[in-house]
Structure formats: structure tokens, C-alpha cells
Amino acid sequence: MNDMRIALVTGANKGIGYEIAAGLGRQGYRVGVGARDEQRGEDAVAKLRASGVEAFVVPLDVTDDESVTTAAALIEDRFGRLDALVNNAGITGGVPQNPAGVDLGIIRTVVETNVIGVVRVTNAMLPLLRRSPSPRIVNMSSSVGSLARQSGPGSATTTGPIAVAYAPSKTFLNAVTVQYARELDGTGILINAACPGYVATDLNGFRGVRTPEQGAATAIRLATLPDDGPTGGFFEDDGEVPW
């Protein structure tokens, strides 16, 4: 049973996270479906199993210390290690978010989930990842967090609503990813940030133009990198995203 590689995807009960779980499952991973609502997690697991994926539910609210500790204990008890962690769970906090007059609580809430949640989950899972022969971490970012794409004469290629909580939370997450890559250099743990493109999910009222399956592709590739693959990078389907 423990010869299968083990993956954990946070926020995997729907959207892009669900498709990351499905894709890793198709590649032979046993996939932990992180879900803050256990029933939504069970429903997703049932659907994944019906499609032939070895899935199990991991109740997991990334903003809750106890929930994250319990999730790590669950994986440790059942498998003793983790091969791939995909930090996918994320929120926008509602857009537009104009800087002037923004509710500071929205910034705190978004950073708590999109950044601090990733650090909390990653640190809880690191001891398990260190036991894997080829550990991988993927942080689900967004090109809206790319400063290069948002600023500079003629380089503002990012459209979409102003979002003073959401977009900088992804910039922050990118910077956090780089710091982990520095610390984990030489350990065999590869950690990268992924942008899924503009995907039709609940997050944007299904206004995105890509399918969740298309949005999952880069994260799946980064979760299954060969040992000589990159670390500390930021990728989308077409290659690297400028910081």
C-alpha cells in the first residue's frame, strides 16, 4: 500500500484543486483531498474514486493550526511520508479591492489564507516530505501577483480588477516560495509557484476562459518534476512567469 506515491492537495474539493487531485491520481498517486468542509471533501473523494483515483479525505482548514496539525498526523499515521504537497487553497476576498478605503480586515483574511496558510501547511508537512525520495511542493500563485506584468511602461499586461488584497497576496506567496527554495536547496525538495491561467471556477464567478483541467496542468507538472527539475521558479503553461 505504501509503494504508491502520496500527494496532498489543499482546497481539492472543487475547482482547480480537484483537477490537480484527479490528474495526480491518474499518474498513480494516492491523493489526499484537503477540504475545510469534511462533507465536501467526502463528496469529492467519492467522485474521484468513481473515476478510478485512489483518493482519501483530509479535513484541512489552512487557517487553523489544530486542523493542519491533525492533517499532518493523519498522513503520518497512514503513510509515514508525503511525496507531493500542492498548496492550492486560496481566496480572493471579493473583488474589486481598491486600495483607497479598503477594509483592512479583507487584507488580513486573504493573507492569512493565501500566504500564512501556505507556510502553516508547508511547515507541518515538511517532516513528512523529507522522508520522500523525491519531494515536491507547489504553491498555487497567479500571474496577477507578477509585479512585472502589472507595472512599468508598456508592460502592464495584466487586466482584471484592482485587488489590493488578492494580487499582493500572490506576490507575497511568490517571495515566500523563493525563501523556501533557498532554505531547502540541496535537500532534494523542489518548490515552485504555479499560475493556472484564467480559469472558470467559483473564485471568479466562472468568468475564467480556461477549464479547471487546463488550469491544473502546470501544478501537476511541477508536482511530478524529475530530480533535476527547477526549484524557486514561477511557471505557467508557456514557461516562466516574470516576477
> Would you please indicate which residues are annotated as catalytic (active-site) residues?
166
Residue 40 or 130 with smaller CB distance to ligand NAP: 40
Residue 63 or 134 with smaller CB distance to ligand NAP: 63
Contact residues for ligand NAP, defined by CB under 6 A: 10-11, 13-17, 36-37, 40, 60-63, 88-91, 113, 117, 140, 142, 195-196, 198-199, 201-204, 208
Residue 67 C-beta: closest distance to ligand NAP, Å: 8
3-state secondary structure of 177: helix
Alpha-carbon distance of 216 to 19, in angstroms, equals: 6
Residue 110 C-beta: closest distance to ligand NAP, Å: 10
Q: Which candidate, 223, 33, 27, places its Cα nearest to that of 132?
A: 223
Non-local CB neighbours of 186 within 8 Å, separated by 6+ positions: none
Residue 111 or 195 with smaller CB distance to ligand NAP: 195
> Residue with C-alpha cell 531547502?
184
Residue 171 C-beta: closest distance to ligand NAP, Å: 12
Residue 167 or 189 with smaller CB distance to ligand NAP: 167
Whether the CB-CB separation of 234 and 180 falls below 8 Å is answered with no
| Grid cell of 153 as nine digits | 511602461
Residue 133 C-beta: closest distance to ligand NAP, Å: 28
For the CA atoms of 214, 113, 56, 124, what is the dihedral angle to 10 degrees? 120
Alpha-carbon distance of 180 to 183, in angstroms, equals: 5
